[in-house]
Amino acid sequence: MPSTSKKKTNATKPHGEDQVQTKRHTPRGLYIFSVIILVIIVVTFIGAPVVGKIGGTGRIVFGSFKGKPIEYIPGNYFSQQKDLLAEQLRSQGDQKDNLEAQVYQVWRGAFDRTTFHTAIVTLMEESGFHVSENRIDENLASYPAYLENGEFSEKRYRQTPLSERYTIRKTVRENLVFQAYLEDMGSIPLSSKEIQFLKSLASPERKVKYILFPFTSYPESEVQAYLTANEAKFKRARFSLITITTGKKDAEKVFERIEKKEITFEDGARSYSKDPFAEKGGDMGFRYAYELDTIIKKPEDTAKIFSLGKGQVAQPVEASEGWLIFRCDEPAIPANFSDPEVKKTVRTYMMSFERGKIEDYLLGEAKKFKEETKTTAFEVLAAKKGLSVKETDYFPINYGNSVFLKPVSRTDSALSGAAYRESFFITTFSLKPNETSEPVVLGDSITLLKLVDERAVKMEDLQVLEVYLPFIVQRFTEENIQQFIVTSKDFKDDFNSVFFQYFLPKQ
């Protein structure tokens, strides 16, 4: 009998199907074998199970896990899964269309299943799990290939080639190991305290009204004020650039050759520069000063670059990586806020680098709104200020957006991050009737909440949660194990290269 010592492991979801690639060239010697295999697959689709007739040369290795081959051998687990998937596809009809894609689908599916099977068996055996020879013999006594009139036939057994008997015994042993894993997965214990905790999160549920102060509502006047205070950041000029990565001396030599007119700036860029602009002779187009600040090490060097006149070349300046030689192609243009592109650029810059300033402003606006609700109703004040009042459905404390519980919102993307903000749930479930909450930051918005109602969840609904919880836990555990396997450094996936080599050759 198998040992009862079983070690739990993490593990995989086999790689998703890769797109079918361009057919690869195959040596002529493999072509005839490939045609035979492909014919066998076609025959399998139309109902003649002749794959098992392939001899010893029918072994194909598609990958490995911890050095253990994930292989196709007539009669083994891979072969069985291939036959099952082919039968499923045949039962669906339409198997005559796009045959190559269907062949790929069947064999890739069999490979994915065998990967998981091989990994689990390997990890179980590493943990010390053992299946006795007597247990294997008991299962072989009922193996279909050895039965005659429902009874074990010693004659059939002895007529089976030794190599095939070995494969069958190996497959039966591995299946018993895998079966033990499945039995373990079906009996994952859950404590009563875990279940009770989940129930406590599921009830009560609350419904709230809310308004949003999105970051996009940050006033244009504030954007303009920021530009006025930081005008130098938004000057722009057109430059060409040469990037030298081999040191300051090499950069100075290139600069001197340009100054002495031994080479043009464009030739210098094409010959020596190591950046995306080299092929265009260094032309990097118009750039804002803040963009150059991100690549030039010293801010004062950026100021020097922007003071260049048309056609002037600056001495090399140090960058985060290498040395830079700039030529001014169009002199600096001051920022003009009446230009829509400049407005958009300043706002985008602030969203990336000055979010705190936007957030502070909108938090201040939200606090003013809350203060005014002391004398004016929440809904009335919102209408007066042109703010839309929205309402959630009932939801519980679903931190992390667990599938076990109702989500905060299925419709409003502005609330999509609420499930991951502890402050949101603390605020929501601390509210008193008709009270306006403190502002809560949610992604690119500030929100204010008002409690609409609270209700207890019905006992029968909580019981449903208890019934389905073990199933959901099992599913998540399996997904984690599958992910572990396919991302493991011990997993080698050669499926595509082998498939295209053997099944879709070019003459």
At 41-87, the pLDDT tens digits run 444 443 333 343 334 447 899 999 999 999 998 888 899 999 999 88
Q: pTM, whole model, 2 decimals?
A: 0.59
List the structure tokens of 436.
């306006």
Q: How far apart are CA 306 and CA 311, in angstroms?
A: 12
In a domain, 270, yes or no: yes
Q: Pick from 266, 298, 333: which residue ends a domain?
A: 333
Task: Tell me, yes or no, whether 440 and 481 share the same domain.
Answer: no
Task: Tell me, yes or no, whether 6 and 152 share the same domain.
Answer: yes
User: Who has greater pLDDT, 476 or 261?
Assistant: 261
* Residues, the chain: 507
**What is the reported pLDDT for 182?**
79
Host domain of residue 172:
1-193+459-507
Task: Tell me, yes or no, whether 147 and 209 share the same domain.
Answer: no
Q: How far apart are CA 68 and CA 72, in angstroms?
A: 13
DSSP reduced 3-state for 448? strand
In a domain, 373, yes or no: yes
Task: Tell me, yes or no, whether 434 and 464 share the same domain.
Answer: no
In a domain, 231, yes or no: no
pLDDT for 505 beyond 70: no
In a domain, 504, yes or no: yes
List the structure tokens of 241.
């650039």
Task: Tell me, yes or no, whether 359 and 464 share the same domain.
Answer: no
Task: Tell me, yes or no, whether 246 and 276 share the same domain.
Answer: yes
Q: Pick from 414, 437, 455: which residue ends a domain?
A: 455
Neighbours of 47 (CB within 10 A): 9
Task: Tell me, yes or no, whether 155 and 10 share the same domain.
Answer: yes
At 142-161, the pLDDT tens digits run 888 889 888 898 888 888 88
Separation in Å, CA 336 to CA 42, 199, 233, 247, 343: 70, 59, 12, 38, 8
Proportion of the chain above pLDDT 70, given as a percent: 86
Q: Of 14-28, 110-124, 222-236, which gets the smallest average pLDDT?
A: 14-28
Residue 468 pLDDT grade (very low, low, confident, very high; cuts 50, 70, 90): confident
Residue 462 pLDDT grade (very low, low, confident, very high; cuts 50, 70, 90): confident
Instruction: CATH number of the domain at 308, please.
Output: 3.10.50.40
Task: Tell me, yes or no, whether 257 and 289 share the same domain.
Answer: yes
State the total domains in the chain.
3
Task: Tell me, yes or no, whether 248 and 284 share the same domain.
Answer: yes
Instruction: CATH number of the domain at 429, please.
Output: 3.10.50
In a domain, 198, yes or no: no
- As a whole number, mean pLDDT of residues 185-199 equals 76
Q: How far apart are CA 284 and CA 277, in angstroms?
A: 6
Please state whether 443 falls in left (phi above 0), alpha (psi between -120 and 50) or beta. left
- Return the sign of the alpha-carbon dihedral for residues 387, 388, 393, 399: negative
List phi, psi (to 5°) of 61: -100, 125
In a domain, 224, yes or no: no
List the structure tokens of 58.
């029918």
- Please compute Rg for the chain using Cα positions: 34
At 329-356, the pLDDT tens digits run 999 999 988 899 999 999 999 999 999 9
**What is the reported pLDDT for 114?**
94
In a domain, 280, yes or no: yes
Residue 381 pLDDT grade (very low, low, confident, very high; cuts 50, 70, 90): very high
In contact, 28 and 507? CB cutoff 8 Å: yes
- As a whole number, mean pLDDT of residues 467-486 equals 81
**What is the reported pLDDT for 507?**
46
List the structure tokens of 116.
């998981």
**What is the reported pLDDT for 94?**
58
- Write out the DSSP string of 102-137: HHHHHHHHHHHHHHHHHHHHHHHHHTT----HHHHH
- As a whole number, mean pLDDT of residues 373-394 equals 95
**What is the reported pLDDT for 320?**
84
**What is the reported pLDDT for 144?**
87
Q: What are residue 319's DSSP bridge partners?
A: 296
**What is the reported pLDDT for 504?**
64
Task: Tell me, yes or no, whether 446 and 465 share the same domain.
Answer: no
In a domain, 263, yes or no: yes
pLDDT, averaged across the chain: 85
In contact, 200 and 462? CB cutoff 8 Å: no
**What is the reported pLDDT for 278?**
94
Task: Tell me, yes or no, whether 139 and 209 share the same domain.
Answer: no
Largest CA distance in the chain: 99
Task: Tell me, yes or no, whether 86 and 176 share the same domain.
Answer: yes
Q: How far apart are CA 9 and CA 185, in angstroms?
A: 11
At 410-430, the pLDDT tens digits run 888 889 889 999 999 999 999
**What is the reported pLDDT for 96?**
57
Residue type, 195: I
